[in-house]
A and B are shown apart, each in its own frame.
Chain A
Amino acid sequence: MSLTAPPKIKLKGRRNMALARSRSIASRIAQAVLLLLAVIIFNFVLIHLAPGDPATVIAGESGGTTPEQLESIREAYGLNDPIFVQLWHYLVQIAHFDLGYSFYFGQDVTSLIGERLYPTVLLAGTGMLAGLIIGTLLGVIAAIKPRGILSYFVTVIALVGFAAPVFWTSVLLLLALSITIPIFPIQGMNSIIVSPHAFPQIWDTTMHLILPATALALIYVALYSRTARTSMLEVLDSDYIRTAWAKGLGGRIVIFKHALRNAVLPVVTLLGLHVGALLSSVVLIEVVFNWPGLGSLLLESILRRDTPVILGILLASSVIVIVANLVTDVAYRIIDPRIAISGGPQ
């Protein structure tokens, strides 16, 4: 008996922990659902309170239109109902995974967003990844010699990256590398007409991607190089790095294996936070480069007051951000059970 007692206690403790973790995760999921509901309602009310009548856009250039024609357009699109009735209809629709129909294109919003999602993921993914890698590397190199030329160069890059509006850097990139030195294409995700073979198509997309991804990456290079530099300077000053040097380890191993692993954590945290703000930069870049993604669709829809599309894109981006945060939280709780018990990150 005495031999089996301790495992029982352990098992009980594990069960309690698992229960606490499950409760914590369930509560976090419930919070996420409530947050999503709040976001949907907030977006809906905000857009519907803005002045402007989508019926005038649907009618097109008119002047000969009768008020009756406009009225019938409003009736057909449910624009005459009180806002709370419209909101209720919208929530019921969302509950059925239906994002509605675009006022402007008369196409269902889900398929419109579906068509545009991949280009945005490609651009945002490549831009962020490039920003993360280049930014971190520049930060590390700058931290090795904090008073060296490269360190000052990183500071300048960071200042320019922060200060320069992304549409301006985009136009400069176009002028420099598409017009003056004609290396890259001007616009779109592919040439209008391409070869039927797979490799030339991928090459074509890559050539189209480089400038917009660079414009996006510049923002993140600026952010991550500064963060990585500061973090790396702190880590390089710590005892275990001194120990590593004292052991006679090579520079590359000390910097990249011991120091970088710890220094990169704040950068990764920052990366997670930036996903939410990504869309605002992507909108401008997609417009300048005519990249056929969600950002350009969002802008076009805002200018035409195409409410179902605007709401659909905002909902999609909200879901991405909320799910990303949820996954992070759940991961924290699984990795560190103390968070589950205390109810929040320490």
Chain B
Amino acid sequence: MSALRIPGKGRVDHAQPVRFTFDGKSYQGLAGDTLASALLANGVHLVGRSFKYHRPRGVVSAGSEEPNALVGVSRGSGREEPNTRATMQEVYDGLAAVSQNRWPCLHFDAGAGADVLHRLLPAGFYYKTFLWPKRFWDRVYEPLIRRAAGLGVAPSEPDADSYASRYAHCDVLVVGGGPAGIAAALAAARSGARVILADEQAEIGGSLLAETGARIDGQPAWDWLAAARAELEGMANVRLLPRTTAIGYYHQNMVGLAERVTDHLAAPPQHAPRERMWRVRAGQVVLAQGAIERPLVFHGNDRPGVMLAGAARTYLHRYGVKVGERAVVVTSHDSAWQTAFDLADAGVSVAAIADVRAEVDSALLAGAQQRGIEILLGHTVTGTSGRLRINAVTLAAAELVATAAGRVLRCDVLLMSGGWTPSLHLFSHTQGRLAWDEASQSFLPGERTEDCHIAGAGRGLWGLGAALADGAAMGAAAARAAGFSPDMSAPTVEGDPAGSGVTTTELPGNRAAHNTRAFVDFQNDVTAKDIRLAVHEGMRSIEHVKRYTTTGMATDQGKLAGMNALAIAAETLGAPLPAVGLTTFRPPYTPTTFGAFAGYHQGETFDVTRKTPIDPWAEASGAVFEPVSLWRRARYFPKPGEDMHAAVARECRATRSAVGMMDASTLGKIEVVGPDAAEFLNRMYTNPFTRLGVGRCRYGVLLGEDGFIRDDGVIGRLAADRFHVTTTTGGAPRVLNMMEDYLQTEWPDLRVWLTSTTEQWVTVALNGPNARRLLEPLVEGQALTDEAFPHMSVSECRVAGFSARLFRVSFTGEMGFEVNVPARHGLELWELLAAAGQEHGLCVYGTEAMHVLRAEKGFIIVGQDSDGTVTPDDAGLGWAIGRRKSDFVGKRSLARPDLVARNRKQLVGLVTHDPRTVLEEGAQIVEDPNQPLPMTMIGHVTSSYWSEALGRSIALALVEGGRMRMGDMLYLPMPEGTHSARVTGTVFYDPQGERLSA
């Protein structure tokens, strides 16, 4: 047992030692320790190197505000976390932690050379230096700076852990489990309100966990705490969430809570999530987040061994750890005196208490005298020494600082307190106003925007008694606002130490300004000098000072630095502190893993994968799939030994020569029904629909009101008042939304009803000269002759015994049918057709062959051959516009000056000079390949394939004035060389359309 651990003291389990490693060296801690307390018990203060100057740094705090003690923690591959705060990581047997931002090792870091050069590296140095030569910035300076500066190393393996998320509702959410939070939870819970109490520490109790002197309701503080926790745990209407950080306060009392579920366990249960994100909707919120102690700003205040006085008291009482053998205390607040007394009583030699104030409460003076501690009032720190750990501090009377040499006191820890800052981060997330309070020299909660109550130290109250009383009052107020009738009773407290103090800026020193290293933001290595420099260089707003110096921009978000930076900036500006104001706090309160935000949305459950009823057949048949919006579709069906090119060529040949079958079930389908259905479609689509006969189909183009193509599809009329509308696979939800919008808000007088039927039908497309021969014997109730059932017909009949909607349509240029049957019969129909098709040379094809076959016919795919700036005329679909219609969605826009301009990009065909060259989709097109850079680009390739039917490549492209360039040669400069291609029409195959009824 180390001499720094006091036997039997604290809330750690002295009977349960655990072993852990830090930088490979093995240490012993106790169950209940944090990594920081266990290292301090072993006399280890040096835990990291600073971000910019690589200065040795030690533990400063005992909580989530820790700026320095950031370590890497690993449980093996895929379970590594950088920048873990050692003050929050609980030790467990086998914990492996490493220090960061040092090379080759923590005690000797080559990067510390940056510290010697500090005068060349002030705030914003990279805006002023490294400017020449210009090309060096990208290649030399920036990579160097990025390598030299930094925190932990991001893990390279995918995260092996899982993360959970949960919604919860309650009447009163209490954030913070210190005395105010516990009192609030008790008051609300006793009235019957559903209460959630969340605290980021491993144990609920807050400052009570480090309180040994006071008595509450006549009991020792820890006994009262145990009883209070037992009472809360015993109530069915209360949920206690330790290890749970409230990271953000969102609209209408939704609070995000990040719970650490397994990070403290030596052997986490196999399927337990590592973290759980709670989204709590609370009727009322009580914010009892307490206050954070401020460091003092003086030369050498960042040496390992310089820490916050309150933290030293926490390590002593909660963990039974003396942070050093010989301490000096420097403070502007009463609370540090109590720390000095407690340490002295525990056997630590306290050399002196230096207070910047000239006058201090007489009870404190008496307490120090009684313990033989030297008192130095009106004193300042002019420097510290010790390379990897403080070994002495120089103190001087403030008024003599410029002339006197000061006194050097040997010490191994220097405990500082600059007072306490109410923690109002979550309150600020609600856009709640902060108001400056002159008496307490702090910002306190002002106007509220949400149903929340701020309790205890968070609103500037000092002391245990006040925190308990205010917590009880705010808990009761919250319960009352939530409709309960709480009674008001607060515990009584004896032995509550008083506390007041003053806010300081940088302490007076005796060194030249350029040689003073007084740190404001430890994590981002920002000094008081940097902040003054920023002001002198013209930064007036605190937000500009923050961004120029990066103060408050590290992972601790300036929890320690914020007020000191503001005070120094205000002093330099000569403006009162509240006039300068604080920077904005934003969620999350502490760094939060991406895993916690992602929750279940990772891997296979990242998003929905929609599958058609045919999908299992395709999978069993070895299909290669591709995602199309949320659907997964079979792209091609390779036979053994075939690559994609061979498979697609075979599928295309079979479809053009015999019959091909494709699963087209993903096509969007909307049932449009009602007496005004035809009128409605007539207004929505460019084409005329009112006179479309029952049993007939029409290709429809849907525009936005801006005149550009949004979607297309075939629309069949089943009855005078019933249409079967198809949309693109990805466009179905958008089209239905757009139709609903017009129907509900522009034409509410139309009697039309819209229903999505995409997933109700399985659609099997049969294309090819043998399609009718295959289908005919299976169809009842509809003759399939060209006379009875010509191209663009629709019929409700039976196919293979199933009730069906049969379309005669073609997206390939071959004779084509689309059989729609209820989804539950889809797979059976598919298998029947696959078997019956054997004698007709049937081949199943996927989306790739479909693309080739349709491109050979110049049929566009909306979103591939169009991009939201393409009009029907641009796409060669001018014929689909009902010229005699007085109005349809987008019609007026087709007359906008830009949409009738002469040189619009138009869809044309391209055939390459070398028939074997398949152009790259997206390739840019130029007129003259020898023009100087940057070239004038006149269009791009939208579709490009190898056409098996033509034995050469084909492409579609959008080209400026394309239809006026027929026969012209255009050029496509590519990295491998320039291709040339001739402009053609868009129909490459069977231009007369003779095969539709072959």
A-B complex is real: no
